[in-house]
Structure formats: structure tokens, C-alpha cells
Chains A and B, each alone.
Chain A
Amino acid sequence: MNWLTVKLIFLREVRDQFRDRRTLFMIAVLPLLLYPAMGIGMLQMTLLFSEQPRTVVILGEKHLPPPQLLEGDKFVSNWFNNPADSDKLNVVTDTLVELGGGGLNASRNRMLIEQARAIRERIEQHTAIDADVKQAESAQRERMKTPAGPSDKSLAVLQERIGQLRAKQVTIDHELMDLFASSQIQVLIVVPDGLKENIERVNRLLVERDNSHVAGVSYPRPTIVKNRADDKSVVAYARVREVLEAWEEEILRQRLSAAELPQELTRPVGSAPLDLAAEEQISANVWSKMFPALLVIMAVTGAFYPAVDVAAGEKERGTMETLLICPATRTEIVLGKFFTVMCFSMSTALLNLLSIGATGQYMLSVAGGMGRGALAHAGVITLPTAPALAWLLILLIPLSAFFSAMCLALATFARSSKEGQYYLTPLLMVSIGLTVFCLSPAVEIYPVHQASWFYSVMPVVNIALLLKALLLNPGNTGALIFAAPVLATSIGYSLLALWWAIEQFSSEGVLFRDGERFEVGLWLKHLLREKEPTPTFTEAGFCFVIIMLAQFVSMRAFGQSIASATPDEMGMQMMKLMVIQQLAIIACPALFMALILTTSVRQSLRLWLPNWKFVAIAALLPFVLHPLSLELMASLQWFFPQLPDGATRLLRAMGDGEQSLPLILIALAVAPAVCEELAFRGFILTGFNRNGRTRVAIGLSALAFGAMHMIPQQVFNATLLGIVLGLIALRSNSLLPGVIFHFLFNSLAVMRERVSVRIADGHAEEFRQSFWHWFATLGDGGLRYTWLTLVISGVAAAMCLWWVWQSGRAKPTPEAVNNLFASGLAPAQQHSTCVT
């Protein structure tokens, strides 16, 4: 590879992008102009809205107790936390109107008071009916206590009366709602008659220490009417409450001091918060929530448009072909384009963050300085520290690389820019979904979390979480230990994505897709008419997708039927479901697809008899791989999140001596061995292997096999086994050795559980003295294998696998001939076989 060529292509693409108005808009205009403009707009809107005063009406003002609550048409300003807020509420009272006050607003005030009185009337009716209903209900209870008899009739009458009352109340409530909604009142306070006197009476009783009377005091309380569905009313109510609480506290204070009681009487616990957060930490907290999410979204957006332009756009404009004819290799071309996309992804992310950060900080400082609105509580925000920003830069590199390569591969697949945007939208959606996941405070990259190591290898999520932790505290050693795995895996994913992009670029099917119209009907007909002996790559992939979807859909149904089983039946039920699941969800799609889409089911599913040597190896391998796999998984336990409930139950059922062994073996060994092999080593592997790339086929089928297992531990384990199984299936060109291997391997896991339980159950001492103790010991999680076993197994496994890898490599198997067809080497012959 010539780096000069890569540089040449890179420089051309960058210059090309800079001459494109769309790109400039995305990376320069958007961040530098839009965000500040949006910020200013938002600020102005909040100011505009908070300026609007709201109307509060008070009926029965003369019954308010001291201290003074009102001053003219405002609340007294010292009841507010921020005295300036007093201007935001206009108070209209009945006293004011009766005195003819209110100046210019006199007529409006009169109308408001009239509306308020009408509302008060309805409230009183509502309360009166409440009292009636209560009375009727207690009468009803009384009647019910007396034995049934002639009183039956009166009970029915009472029941009817309650119903009538309730119906009336509903009408009144509706009227009340309509009245309040049509009035211009945001909050209405109805002060009952005699409130002042009642409060004073209690004060007096307290001074006289007349406790027996104090306990019995009951008097009508004010009602505050608001409408929670109306924002104006909500805002006004919040302020009114603030005022009333402060005012009530003062009444209480005066009451206590008059009665010579301590002020702390009403706060027996009286805890006080001690906030240790320094100003920078508050800021860091804000940034750590905002920046990772923004970084991910901006990195993917920044990669999106250049990727579409340099890949799909080039195809669309017809320059792709000339570029492919020049001596630059595909890898060089892709790398040049990749670095361009990455460059724009990074600069978009950085410029956007910079602009959002600066705008946000400015807005908060403006809002904080004015002491207004909800933003005022956020305080003054300082920018993240230098080490935090350094981490942001470092982590942006793999993040951008990953997205750039993904976007480039997807955009290469597209025929036109428009198509490219369709393909990339799902990527954008998934990224947004992932960032939302990372925003949750419960999701953290931190050693306390069991799932941390797992999160640290998940693409995109790992970077976002690490950044979240490091922005909060750049010296966080707890998070720093994750830096290595996060960076390593992220770079790994980027390389994989890049490899995929290069693959896309090397495929003539992708580069020269003709623009023929696609019709579903035509395509289906084509699929059924032009059947080939074995499935295509796409058909194999589709089979996997169907299996995954079916599994997803059935999960709920299976979960319910397990949950509904009694504990005794649970194990049995689970076993039954396992078999059904294997047959219906895994074997059926593969079988049906092979029947419908291919001409040779036998060849598609590898239903040939193998060489006996492969059978022998397949029967031997499980015994040596079982200890290795078990110990590997045990030593990696710290890495994975805890097993979900269902899996633990299944494990328990495996070791349950009560269950019949043949049944467990059928459910956990026979069914998976047959069904999973049919699907994954049959249909899917054959399809993946169509273009003759053995390693890619084995790797992909193993990944599919792993992904099907859902639980992270099993995904890992199954992927490794999938490699072995795929290799055996390809080399022996038969499904049988795989079935044997799979059956024995699963059986061994079951047997180990059972034997462990048996030994632990009273035979531990006997076992310790036996010859077997050289090979296995009894640990916490059942039998564990000794180093001796592992060394023997390791050597034997390596030898077996080497033999399998070597054997049949050069021989032209039916597969190889098939590949010849697949690569289109002999379409003529192929057709003669099809047609004749």
C-alpha cells in the first residue's frame, strides 16, 4: 500500500468537500451561527414569558389573619424568595372591588370577582353534596348492620339517592371546570368566614395551655382553585404556594412565640443538608451528562454527509469508474476516503461541542446573573478542565473512526446520494438510542458495577460511558482502568468496520449495481424460479434474521408460560419449551428455506455421510474441549454481567436430580444438536460459504450462532464453539460430525452439573480419595478441572483441530465445485444443468 496515494486521495476529497456548500453548512454555519442564534432566541422567549403577570383572585380578604399578606394589588414582596417575583402576580380581592378601587381596571376587576363568586357558589354546592352523600352513606351502613327484612326497600331508596347526589355533583363539577376555564383567573383563593377569628382563638387557647380544647378545634380552611392542565395556572399556583407557605410559617412563628413555645417545635428532626459540591464539580456534572451524548450524535452526523458524498455521490456522478481504473488499489481509495470522512466527523463534533458549550455557558450565566427562571438554579458553569478535554479528544478519535467506516461502507452500498441517506438513517437512530441508554444515571463504567467490563467492550457505549466518568473526574482511577479495553476494542471495531468498507468497495456487485426497478412480486418469482442448488449469502443471512426475530417474538410467550407454571412443573415446562423452541424457531426456518429456495436440500443442509475419521474426531473433541471451555468461562466470570434469572433457573434444572435424565438430554442436548446444526452449520454456513471464503464463512456463522444465544456469557462461549463446529462441518462436508459433537458437548455440561450435585451430596470424601481426584476437584460451582486435565485437553484439542484444519484442504470437495458455480465461473454449464 502506498501512503502517498492515500494522502493524494485524502487531499483531493477534503478539497472537494470544502468546495461543497452542504458540507460547509454542516460543519461551519450550523455550529457557529445556529446554536448561538437558538440560544438567544430561547433566552428571549423565556424572558418574554416570565414577564407576563398572572391573575390571582382572593375572595374573603377581610378574613385573612395577620401578618399582612397583601399590599394593594400585589402580594407583599418579602414573602417571595426573590422579592422581584411579586410583580408577576396581580391580586384582585373582593374588598378592593367593593371599595371601588382598581383604577383603570375597575370594570375588569368587578367582572373577575363576579366570576369568582360564581365559582365559589359551585364549590359550596359541591361541599354541601359531599356532606349529604356522607350522611346518606352512614345511614346506609347503619341499615346494613340490621338484619335484612322490610328495610330492604329503604336501602334501595338510599342507594338511589346517593346515585342522584353523585350525578348532581358531576354536573356541578363540570360547571365549575367550565367557569374556571372561561374566566381569566389563574388561581382563586377562597377564604372562609371567620378564619382570622378561628386562628386567634387557637392562639389564645395555646397561650392558656388549654390543650383539651386545642385538640378539638376544627374550622373551615381556605380553598385554592387551580387547573393543573393549564401552564399559566401551574406557574401562578407555584408562586402563590411559595407566598402562602412563607406567610403561614410567619403565622406559626408568631403563634409559638406568643405561647412561649420553642420555634423548633414543628421540626422535631430538623435535618440540614450539607452540599459538598464545589462549583467546578457542578459544572463537571452538567458537562458529563451533556457531552458524551452530543459527541456521539455529532460524530455520526459529521460522518454521515461526507460519507454519502464521497461514496454514493461519486457513483451517482459517474466518477467512480474512472477512479477504479487508476492504479490506486481499493484499499488506498477507501483509506483516502475514510480519512476524509473521519476528518469531517471529528471537526463537526468538536465545532458543535465548542459552540454548544459556549452558547450554553453564556446562556446560563445570563440567566444566573438575572436571577430569573429555572435556569438560575444551575449557577455559573465553568468549562471542563484541560485533562477532561484531552480525554474528550482522545476518545473522539476511535469514535469518529468507527462511525466514518460504518457510514462509508453503507454509503458505498447505495447507488445514489438519496439512497445513501436512507441507509444511514438507521445508523443515526441506533446511535441516538445508544446515547439515551448512556444518559441513564444507572449505566456507568465503574468497577462497582458487575456489567462494567461488559460495557467497556460494547461499541460506542463504551466510549460514551468512559467519557461520562472522566468528564466528572479526569483523575478517576476507577474509570481509568477501563481506558485500555475501551480504546483497544474501539480501535478493533473501527478496523472491522473499515475492513467491511473495503470489502464493499471491492465487490463489483456493489459498485456496479444497475438501476433496474425492484418489484417484490418479480423478485419472489425470480427467487423461486431461479433456484440454485445451495442458498446464497443473502438467503443465509435472511435465515439468521428470521431465527432472531422469531426468538424475539416468542420470548414473551415462553416467559409467560414458564411464569405461570407451578414450581414443581417449572423444570418440566422449561424442558418442553426448549424442545419446541428448537424445533419451531431454529430448525423450521432453515428446513423450509432449504426446501423452498434451493434445488438440493441435501447439499444445502450437508446431508451427506462423512468420512469415519471426522466422526471419530467429533466424538473425541467434546471431551477435551469441555474442560477447557468450562475453565475459560469460569476465569472470565468477572467480565460478564450477572446471569439473568431464567438462565440461572435453567442451570439449576440441569443439575436437578429429580428430573429424568433422558428428558433433560433430549431438551438440552439432542434437540439443540439436531436443530441448531441444521440451521447454523447447514443452511447458514452453506450460504455464507458460497463465495468460497472459508474463514469468513466460519467466522460469520459462528458469530450468528453466538448472537442467537442472547446471554453475553453464552454468546461468547457459543461463538468459540461455532468456530470449531463450522470448521468440522466445512472440512467433513457433512452435518453428522457436528451433530455428534454438539450432542456430546451439551450432554457433558448436563452430566457435570448432575455429577457435581451427586458428589457434593454425601460422596465428597469418597471422591477426594479416588483416582478421579487427579483430574477434577469439587469447588463452589461444582466440579472444577485440574491443571493436569487442562494440559492434556489442550494438547489433544490442538492436535485434533490441526488435523481437521489440514485435512481436506486441497481436495476439491463438492463445495469447491459449488463455489465455482457461485462465483459465476461457469454460468453456461450451470444453466444447462438447470434448464435440462
Chain B
Amino acid sequence: MISVQQLTKGFDDLRRGWVAALDHVSFDVQPGEIFGLLGPNGAGKTTCLRILSTVLRPSSGTATVSGFDVVTHPTEVRKRIGFMSNNTGIYDRMTAWEMAEYYGRLYGLPEDVLQSRLEQLFDTLQMNDFRDTLGAKMSTGMKQKASIARAMVHDPPVIIFDEPTCGLDVLVARKVLAIVQSLKDQGKCIIFSTHIMREVEKLCDRIAIIHKGAILAIGTLPELQEQHQQPDTEELFFDLIERYDQQNQPSAAGFAPVAG
């Protein structure tokens, strides 16, 4: 469903010079699978997801979604993905219903399909009590739900969650995770980026630990634990990052050489 090969993205930074935000990253995600991208802030998670959602172009390497290349067929890719970012992307001066409807129309859904789809979404997400509330007046939880409704309106086979629980209280976060789980059960192909270990342990079928643009380890959680003889996820994570930073100490002045 999603295939990422040797994906690299560099940009020019005032302080550090040329920086590789992504450094030859490769992974695959299958339908009905939740793939976790686990990494600290600034590891390159968002850059990777933005390339997958076609808003950034890779410097080199390829990424395909449902067989369509993100560089050569961006429109086809966009039709097949739902993207939810941590800053919910809610219009202040639009109601929840209007916004989901607007995006449904942008995706070209026929009007009757759209209306029934919206009713269904608002029912399952329990959004009917704030369907006519303006974005500016919504609570964070409402915004998150509205954002999910927007991302799901065209029923995409691939869904990308970029730190969806960031800044949410425990109750709302739990609901969001439940929604992600139910989407998986519907057979969606899901990428889930986070820096919270608990979420990964709970949700993800496979994970990739990403740091400074490079994937340090990839596999199912038990596999990784066995491989590195570290039963605790948190310790595993810190070990990997520490080891990587030690190895790359000499070239700390700016650019991290290829590690994959």
C-alpha cells in the first residue's frame, strides 16, 4: 500500500548549513496495519509524512501510495490519503459540518453520497451536538474530531496521523486512539507518528525508530526487543539513540553522514 525507498530530503538551515531531514529512509506499510514512526521532536517524522502526502518533494528516493508515485502522480495519491496533523487545521470561521462538507466536495464526492457519508461520520464520531459550532468556538477535543471527520470524509484507503494526540487530555487521546484502532479493523493502511511509547505499544503492528532523519531500527516490537535484548520499549529507544549519537560524534559539525 505504502512503499518508501531510500527517501532523502535536505534543506538549508541558517545555523547548521545543509541538513538532511530525512536520510535514505525505507519502509513498507500493508493494508490493515498500523505502522508507527517513533522518534523525538525534529527527528524527521513530519517531513516524511509531508512527502507521503505530496506537499513536499523528496530530494531523492521514491515513495508510492497505492502504487502511485508521490512525485509523478500527486493528484492520484492525494485522492487516496487522509491526513491528520497535530495542529488540527480547522477553519475558525466554519462549522464542523461545513468543513467536512467542503472537503468532501473538494474530493469530488457526489452530493448524495457525501450527505450520507457525513451523517454516518458524524454519528460514529459522536459529533452531532457540535455540528453547527464554528471552529473558533470548539474545544481541542472537538477540533480533533472535526479534523478526523475531514480526513475521513472521502473514505481513503491510507490514513496518515501526525502526532494526533499531541496536546490532548487523556480522555480525548483515548478516544482518538480508539478511532485509529477501529480504522485499522476496517482494513485501512495507517501510518501513525508519535513520540509517546505507550501509544506505540498499544496500537502499532510494526514500528520504525527514527532519529536525526535516519531509521535506527524497524520491525515489530517483540522483534526489536529480542534483537537488542531490551524488553523495555523506553530503554530500547534511548539505547538506540544514544548509540547512534556516540557513533556520529566526530561529524557533529553540521552534517550527519549516511547511516543506512
* A interface, CB within 8 angstroms of B: 5, 8-9, 12, 15-16, 19-20, 317-319, 321-322, 324-329, 508, 511-512, 516, 518-519, 522-523, 526, 529-530, 823-828, 830-831, 834-835
Q: Given contact pairs A827-B20, A835-B255, enumerate 19 new A-B contacts (beta carbons under 8 Å).
A: A8-B105, A9-B106, A16-B93, A16-B94, A321-B89, A325-B78, A327-B78, A327-B107, A329-B75, A512-B50, A518-B14, A526-B14, A526-B15, A529-B17, A530-B12, A824-B10, A826-B60, A827-B10, A828-B258
Given that A5-B106, A830-B18 are contacting pairs, would A325 and B90 also be in contact in the complex, using a CB cutoff of 8 Å?
no
Contact partners of B91 in chain A: CB under 8 A: 16, 317, 319
Shortest CB distance B178–A (Å): 23
The 11 listed contacts between A and B (C-beta, < 8 Å) are A15-B94, A20-B93, A321-B83, A322-B85, A322-B150, A324-B55, A325-B78, A526-B14, A526-B17, A828-B10, A831-B254
In the complex, what distance in Å separates the CA atom of A522 from the CA atom of B85? 32
Contact partners of B75 in chain A: CB under 8 A: 327, 329
Residues of B within 8 A of A20 (CB): 93
In angstroms, Cα B94 to Cα A716, docked, is 50
Q: How many residues of B contact A (CB 8 A)?
A: 47
Q: Are B11 and A824 in contact (CB under 8 A)?
A: yes
Cβ B55 vs Cβ A825 within 8 A: no
Which A residue sits closest to B86, measured CB to CB?
A318
Taking CB atoms, residues of chain A closer than 8 Å to B14 are: 516, 518-519, 522-523, 526
B56 CB-CB contact with A under 8 Å: yes
Question: In the bound complex, do residue B18 and residue A508 qualify as a contact, i.e. CB atoms below 8 Å apart?
Answer: no
Check B83–A325 contact: CB distance below 8 A: yes
Verify if B117 is at the interface (C-beta below 8 Å from A): no
Contacts of A827 in B (CB 8 A): 8, 10, 18, 20, 59
User: Nearest-CB distance from A710 to chain B (Å)?
Assistant: 35
Q: Are B81 and A327 in touch, CB under 8 angstroms?
A: no
Does B165 interact with chain A (Cβ within 8 Å)?
no
Which of A5, A328, A824, A835 is the most central at the interface, judged by chain B CB atoms within 10 Å of its CB? A824
* B92 contacts A by Cβ under 8 Å: yes
Cα distance A529–B254 in the bound complex, in angstroms: 11
User: Which of B11, B17, B50 has a CB less than 8 Å from the CB of A530?
Assistant: B17
Nearest to A318 among chain B residues (CB) is B87
Would you give the shortest CB distance from B37 to chain A, in whole angstroms?
Answer: 17
Q: Which residues of A lie under 8 Å from residue B85 when comparing CB positions? A: 318, 321-322
User: Which secondary structure characterizes the binding site on chain A?
Assistant: helix
Give the CA-CA distance A830 to B254 in the complex, in Å: 13
* Chain B 9-44: CB-based contact to A (< 8 A → 1; otherwise 0): 111111101101001000000000000000000000
A580 to chain B, nearest CB (A): 37
Q: Are A322 and B79 in contact (CB under 8 A)?
A: no
- A508 and B17 contact, Cβ closer than 8 Å, known pairs A530-B12, A828-B8: no
How distant is the Cα of A325 from the Cα of B82 in the complex, in angstroms? 8
Q: Does any Cβ of A come within 8 Å of B233's Cβ?
A: no
A831 and B18 contact, Cβ closer than 8 Å, known pairs A8-B106, A327-B106, A508-B57 = yes
Query: Chain B residues with Cβ under 8 A from A508's Cβ?
Result: 55-57
Provide the residues of chain B in CB contact with A325, threshold 8 Å. 53-55, 78, 81, 83
Q: Is the CB of B59 within 8 A of A319?
A: no
- Measured CB to CB, the nearest residue on chain A to B15 is A522
A527 to chain B minimum Cβ distance, whole angstroms, is 10
Q: Does B244 contact A (CB under 8 A)?
A: no
Is B68 located at the chain interface by the 8 A CB criterion? no
Whether A317 and B10, one on each chain, are in contact in the complex, defined by CB atoms closer than 8 angstroms, is: no
Q: How far is the CB of B105 from chain A (nearest CB, A)?
A: 5
Q: Closest Cβ of chain B: how far from A518's Cβ, in Å?
A: 7
Contact B106 A328 (CB under 8 A): yes
- Inside 8 A of A828's CB, which chain B residues have their CB? 8, 10, 20, 23, 257-258
Question: Smallest CB-CB separation from B82: which chain A residue?
Answer: A325
List residues of chain A with CB within 8 A of the CB of B60. 825-826
Q: Kindly report which residue of chain B lies nearest to residue A832, judged by CB atoms.
A: B257
Give the residues in chain B near A529, CB-CB below 8 Å: 17
Interface residues of B in 86-129 (CB under 8 A from A): 87-94, 102-103, 105-108
Q: What are the residues of chain A within 8 A of B94 when measuring CB–CB?
A: 12, 15-16
Most buried by A among B8, B94, B106, B257: B106
Assembly CA distance A532 to B258 (angstroms): 21
What residue of chain B has the Cβ atom nearest to residue A328's Cβ?
B106
Residues of A within 8 A of B81 (CB): 325
CB contacts (< 8 Å) of A823 on chain B: these are 59
A135 to B103, CA, bound (A): 97
C-alpha spacing A823/B147, complex, angstroms: 33
Question: With A and B bound together, what is the CA distance between A834 and B255 in angstroms?
Answer: 11
Instruction: Give Cα A426–Cα B145 distance, bound, in whole angstroms.
Output: 42
Q: Which chain A residues border B102 with CB–CB below 8 Å?
A: 8, 12
Task: Select one of A318, A328, A826 contacting B89, CB under 8 A.
Answer: A318
User: Which 10 pairs between the two chains have the least Cβ-Cβ distance?
Assistant: A827-B10, A322-B89, A318-B87, A19-B93, A824-B59, A326-B106, A530-B17, A325-B83, A324-B55, A327-B78
Q: Say whether A825 contacts B59, CB under 8 Å.
A: yes
Q: How far is the CA of A328 from the CA of B154 in the complex (A)?
A: 14
A620 CB, nearest partner CB in chain B, Å: 42
Which chain B residues border A511 with CB–CB below 8 Å? 55
A828 closest partner in B (C-beta): B258
The smallest C-beta distance from A537 to any residue of chain B, in angstroms, reads 12
CA distance A105 to B15 in the complex (A): 80
- With a cutoff of 8 Å between Cβ atoms, the chain A residues found around residue B59 in the complex are 823-827
Distance from A533 Cβ to chain B, minimum over Cβ atoms (Å) = 13
